[in-house]
């Protein structure tokens, strides 16, 4: 375990099942201390978790992975929320610039699943690994919801991924609940949300969706649902999770 603190995962999940998101975040803050971080892609509904988390832990480090290929609206949205919520924002970018990547490997997102895996490793996974190390993270809060992807449907409130604890306060929330929370607190959606972009990532791998499609259908050209940040890198850990029907 990367974090020296050992948590009884089964007990934690039993205690936190069906608890309010704020209580789950407060539990995480008590258990993991100042090393508790969160991530945000500043996507469609990013204001939800940013507002929830900072109400409980105002100075929590918010890791923003800037691939260099985000929509202009995403950068503007990130700045708006950073100012409004007084975020302790930590921006991490790839070690290899976008220009150099394209010179060396071409447009990886057009090279099928293998090219996309390389793209995600360089632009998302490596910067996130670096953030976890440099921030001395003890645990990671993420706004994953079960209804978003098949992988997320099998998650629990508290998990372990690649040696780090991960906490999912809104795992059981529906899109309707998210909308009601944003409306209640007068929080904005991403500017592209009303144009049909329900899940928003890089410019080249994000498309608007139409009626009958799920939120993630507009991502990655339909080749995959996850970018790799929220999936165990270890084949054994991934198989173990799938085999236990978690």
**Catalytically active residues, by annotation:** 227
For residue 18, how many other CB atoms are within 10 A of its CB?
A: 6
Report residue 194 CA to chain centroid gap.
Answer: 21
Quote the CA–CA distance of 246 and 242 in Å, as a whole number. 6
Rounded to the nearest angstrom, the gap between the alpha carbon of residue 23 and the centroid of all alpha carbons in its chain is 20
**CA angle centred on 16, ends 13 and 21, rounded to 5°:** 130
Question: Computed from CA positions of residues 37, 42, 44, 47, in that sequence, does the dihedral angle turn out positive or negative?
Answer: positive
What sign does the CA torsion over 181, 49, 196, 209 have? negative
> Which residues, including other chains, have CB under 8 Å from residue 10's CB and lie 6 or more apart?
none
Residues ≥6 apart with Cβ < 8 Å to 140: 36, 37, 38, 39, 132, 161, 164, 165, 166, 167
Contact present, 21 and 52 (Cβ < 8 Å):
yes
The DSSP output letter for 206 is B
């Amino acid at each position: 375990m990367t974090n020296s603190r050992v948590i009884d995962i089964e007990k934690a999940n039993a205690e936190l099942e069906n608890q309010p998101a704020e209580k789950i975040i407060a539990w995480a803050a008590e258990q993991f201390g100042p090393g508790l971080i969160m991530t945000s892609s500043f996507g469609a509904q990013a204001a939800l978790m940013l507002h929830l988390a900072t109400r409980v832990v105002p100075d929590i480090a918010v890791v923003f992975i800037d691939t260099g290929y985000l929509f202009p609206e995403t950068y503007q949205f990130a700045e708006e929320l950073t100012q409004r919520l007084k975020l302790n924002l930590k921006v991490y970018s790839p070690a290899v610039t976008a220009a150099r990547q394209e010179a060396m490997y071409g447009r990886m997102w057009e090279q099928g699943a293998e090219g996309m895996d390389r793209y995600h490793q360089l632009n998302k996974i490596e910067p996130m690994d670096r953030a976890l190390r440099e921030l001395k993270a003890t645990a990671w809060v993420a706004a994953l919801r079960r209804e978003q992807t098949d992988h997320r449907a099998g998650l629990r409130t508290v998990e372990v991924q690649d040696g780090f604890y991960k906490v999912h306060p809104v795992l059981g929330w529906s899109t309707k609940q998210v909308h009601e929370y944003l409306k209640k607190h007068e929080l904005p959606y991403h500017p592209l949300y009303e144009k049909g972009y329900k899940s928003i990532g890089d410019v080249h791998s994000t498309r608007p969706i139409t009626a009958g499609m799920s939120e993630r259908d507009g991502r990655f050209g339909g080749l995959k649902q996850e970018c790799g940040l929220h999936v165990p890198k270890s084949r054994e850990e991934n198989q173990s999770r799938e085999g236990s029907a978690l």
